[in-house]
Structure 1
């Protein structure tokens, strides 16, 4: 692949380092930068600007990135970069050199360490680096100014009698552990290639026409994993290594689903990672990274639906896995009724749009907290999953309790949220009347648990080409709504998670032809426009972050599970 660094970073499995194109701003010039993605998405983490040099001068170059090697190609020569390990960036130059210009802030500094190596201490990003040449020279300029270096420029360049330069940039947090021996650049590249080849082989197969999309999705998911470190109890597949450099507590579910058949251990790590840090009252954090978790909001309880899907589509989960998740999932379910039912009427609320995952949906236009039928639908499925786990673990009383609670919530939900024509959301007991959000169609995930007339009504609304349905899929706000925006986040664009949930609900409802058609639409759109955060519902254009893992995972799931099978006639 030829990876465009303006849209997709160059990174690797396990690494907190990333290389991206960054535009000019108040404190840096336009260019290609080595970044750190530690600490979340408040800062892009720009560390070093990368330039190709000849005889000490920066020269023009083109960045040509593939999955495992980045080439900085100039007319005079080339610099190749690889991540030999998660914390190591190897450098190999022919006829030209590489310049690293630190984005300097207070206290940042560099000094000669030993054996030709220089240490760079980036106070502002809480990280340090060791720069070491193997072949050629390393010249560093880092003038001291009271309590830091006024700037740091490091040049890896060939000797005059030798046209090659080779070196390494090693990242470390505490103690630098120097190796006695390093493999050659080519040997290191072969190792990374082998590692990536295994990942690609374990990526879900798709029909031939979607192979280019599979290749892109495989790279994005592989390169967006960071290793277990700090606050993260397991390896984590971030949403992106562009800007969304965290893991969120519903995004992780879709990534786990795409991994469960071919990479079950990593899939289970993705599913369990938030339950590892679960609060005593059952709450899961909104998101987390290597340095902290954020608790001011939560995400919808799709975990029961996710686990049921994983059990249905894979034989890789064990009884031990189910025993591990049972109590945490039980606490997460109970939390909604204990902590998110302010008026004690039996219907949990979203206290902010972010709690629903649909941050700025028109359901929240009039105020908060909102009682919404999708939340009840998720909880019904979660209770049913708990009942299934209890049955497999021979907890008979729990099995009967969860089944009874699920059935009762379904009865109450239909009486409270269905007005005879449609599902409605409630604010202070009154129907929400702003906008026309696709979120109110999410109860289709209950499929044949719903009365036939309600199920038919929902399907009819989803098929209405004058409302949500476009040639690319289902818009998140009706195109006829006064609140619809082409780039309106959850007020119009097509998203992977809503598409996946609705397709699964339609399949379970017997609407297989329609569900598969939606899967085709989404996969065609992602194949053409990339694995974007979301998509223009009318044009299909990729919007916002263009290297998103849950989009990649949903593409792989849909292309593998729903597109490449024979379409059956719908039956209700």
Structure 2
């Protein structure tokens, strides 16, 4: 991950019209050839559980209950567990995002009950209910006995609103007259001032929750304009009593034998008064045609499933759909300072919920493009929205730089997680090209090309200390970078491999100042030139050549190809150590390879980018296929098992990350080692615990045991699993 913990942490047609009204212009590809039905992909993720407290998570800030969201909504839901009778009739939650941080609003805010003759019916009278997740919806099925059944389905209709449809069916021989009602209560945070933020309000069509203004930088952020609101299609009456409420349908419903009735309602979460007004109109449109929205949503998800399973062997398709559900649940629509829809790292980890990271975005867009190319484009735009320009009043020297992370709040609004003190490795041109391959949208290339070129220029202006064409990771001129150690830390974050041994201060890593010709301070560099950074830059230049050709700029394309060739040549001639058979960072002062810091997975990057010679690739392949090095129980640890600095559980000092596994596998395939890649892919998928079952896709895994580590439901893992599953280069 990348600067992933905040500074205070100790380590860190009519149908088309309906879709547009619903805020879903980011449409799916056509659902032409779905290999299996939606029910074949039921429960690819275990989404069952009921929260016990408002604050999700444990000491590691992880939420143990996986949830479902869609369309970029900022709230999500889970299913109760079978046997949890206190939760029957409702969906767990919602989990809502207080601008940047996730909180449970309720155990189950809208629990439905049915009555007959003044008696509440037992939802489990006919047996244990069935609760299941299917692509794009949560489903509950109840047998009430004596010929009555109840089915609840939750889908997202817009980027702020979930639609719940409750079908009551009479399969008996006599007419039945039923009343309907709903109830729920708040889960209040334990500590002030967030404890007093939510308050219940009755409305004409249901019930709402208003939120007071709270500006707790590291825990809870609201502006006092947020609202969660339940709106019923049919007339209802609501009474509020403290933290609880009861809603009753105004009239009973009589069901003839064989007849069914739908109770429909929406649940919306909005941030501003303008959003609330817009969403009220959208909710009315949804409730005027709920079946049309349900049908459109199901068609969209069939397209999504087709996109991620195409070319994937049958036995791996459930894992592909799990990746899909992970990415969609982590999708957040534009809000606050996030100007375009994007995919956050994980709704299940406190610090990864309300923001976007550059490196993550480049990788996530590649996977997302398989099922929603427009969303992939939007994700890339969301980062380039904040590219520094020469007109910047505070950092014009960083024109072209893309900040590491942007969140709902920038520092001027009290945000603590926004990060401009470093950037991230330039994989953006690769990402843009891969999205273009799926979308065919040449206008996207024309839009991004000058931004990508400016990003390249920044690296060589601000991060090439000795102007030799090999760049270094570094740090910006920023108030947070106020010491040598803080600059070294920011530079390590800029690599994305935050605590990798090669950046250890105790091994001699330090920083140097970079200045313009007139002596003006531009920023700082590590005193080492990094192999992964320069391989990425060479690849970035090659993709810029492709983009320039595609948009009709052949002269510029030729220059980019020439530059890419020169950068690749420097990587293979200066950064490969023949004695070690591996690529390494090199010392800035004398160009010596830093072999004393051990072999890291970054040494495989030149195979992926094509910088290595065939002979060099053969030696790297030997390391990658050696069980004592990188072919561990779960292959591709970030540090070789043979390294004295290897630690199987320590973030970037040993755990397996799927992005670098993808790089290594693709690199092997590039140089013709397909059999090796196939075998190692099998080990990877079989060894990572829970990956092929219903457990969440993890941020990383222990290479020796396969145990899941760090954040669950992690987006870039899900994204790059997709090409791994299909065996693509």
Q: Map 1:136-285 to 2 at 5 A.
A: 137-142=237-242, 152-156=243-247, 167-172=265-270, 173-175=272-274, 176-177=276-277, 178-179=280-281, 182-183=287-288, 189-205=294-310, 206-243=312-349, 244-245=352-353, 246-260=355-369, 263-280=372-389, 281-285=399-403
**Secondary structure of 1:36's aligned partner:** strand
Determine the structure 2 residue equivalent to 1:19. 77
Q: Does 1:465 align with 2:538?
A: no
Determine the structure 1 residue equivalent to 2:456. 333
Structure 1 residues 559 and 118, CA gap change in structure 2 (3 angstroms) = closer
Determine the structure 2 residue equivalent to 1:507. 669
Determine the structure 1 residue equivalent to 2:229. 130
Structure 1 residues 112 and 225, CA gap change in structure 2 (3 angstroms) = closer
Q: Does 1:375 align with 2:533?
A: yes
Q: Is the 8 A contact 1:373 1:413 kept in 2?
A: yes
In the aligned structure 2, how far is the partner of 1:63 from the partner of 1:98? 20
Q: CA deviation at 1:99?
A: 1.2
Q: Map 1:13-162 to 2 at 5 A.
A: 13-19=71-77, 32-37=92-97, 39-40=99-100, 43-50=101-108, 52=111, 64-70=132-138, 81-91=154-164, 97-103=182-188, 105=194, 108-110=197-199, 112=201, 114-115=203-204, 117-123=206-212, 124=214, 125-126=222-223, 127-133=226-232, 134=234, 137-142=237-242, 152-156=243-247
Determine the structure 2 residue equivalent to 1:300. 425
- After superposition, the CA RMSD in angstroms is 3.6
Q: CA deviation at 1:262?
A: 5.0
In the aligned structure 2, how far is the partner of 1:515 from the partner of 1:469? 11
Identify the match of residue 445 of structure 2 among 302, 322, 329.
Answer: 322
Task: Please say which of residues 330-339 and 391-400 is displaced more in the overlay.
Answer: 391-400
Structure 1 residues 84 and 269, CA gap change in structure 2 (3 angstroms) = closer
Q: Is the 8 A contact 2:373 2:435 kept in 1?
A: no
Identify the match of residue 596 of structure 2 among 410, 424, 433.
Answer: 433
In the aligned structure 2, how far is the partner of 1:555 from the partner of 1:36? 28
In the aligned structure 2, how far is the partner of 1:340 from the partner of 1:362? 21
Report the TM-score when normalising by structure 1.
0.82
Q: Is the 8 A contact 1:250 1:302 kept in 2?
A: yes
Structure 1 residues 119 and 271, CA gap change in structure 2 (3 angstroms) = closer
In the aligned structure 1, how far is the partner of 2:360 from the partner of 2:471? 21
**Secondary structure of 1:442's aligned partner:** helix
Deviations 1:67-126 (A, max 9, x none): 444457899888654434332234567877441314252663536465254442213434
**Secondary structure of 1:130's aligned partner:** strand
Deviations 1:419-459 (A, max 9, x none): 33233224664636334322233222243x42333222211
Identify the match of residue 4 of structure 1 among 37, 46, 54.
Answer: 46
Report the TM-score when normalising by structure 2.
0.66
Q: Is the 8 A contact 2:662 2:721 kept in 1?
A: no
Q: Does 1:362 align with 2:468?
A: no
Q: CA deviation at 1:282?
A: 0.8
Q: CA deviation at 1:185?
A: 6.2
Q: CA deviation at 1:236?
A: 1.3
Q: Is the 8 A contact 1:12 1:223 kept in 2?
A: yes
Structure 1 residues 157 and 541, CA gap change in structure 2 (3 angstroms) = farther
Q: Map 1:471-550 to 2 at 5 A.
A: 471-524=633-686, 525=688, 526-528=691-693, 530-550=696-716
Determine the structure 1 residue equivalent to 2:396. none
Deviations 1:358-413 (A, max 9, x none): 12211112344242111111111112222333344454543343333333333333
Q: Is the 8 A contact 1:157 1:165 kept in 2?
A: no
In the aligned structure 2, how far is the partner of 1:160 from the partner of 1:306? 55
Q: Does 1:420 align with 2:420?
A: no
In the aligned structure 2, how far is the partner of 1:140 from the partner of 1:101? 11
Q: Does 1:552 align with 2:637?
A: no
Q: CA deviation at 1:279?
A: 1.0
Task: Please say which of residues 500-509 and 191-200 is displaced more in the overlay.
Answer: 191-200
Structure 1's unaligned 5+ residue stretches are 23-30, 143-151, 564-572
**Secondary structure of 2:537's aligned partner:** helix
Structure 1 residues 361 and 210, CA gap change in structure 2 (3 angstroms) = same
Structure 1 residues 544 and 98, CA gap change in structure 2 (3 angstroms) = farther
Structure 2's unaligned 5+ residue stretches are 1-41, 48-63, 81-90, 114-118, 145-149, 169-179, 215-221, 255-261, 390-398, 411-417, 475-490, 511-525
Structure 1 residues 501 and 271, CA gap change in structure 2 (3 angstroms) = farther
**Secondary structure of 2:663's aligned partner:** helix
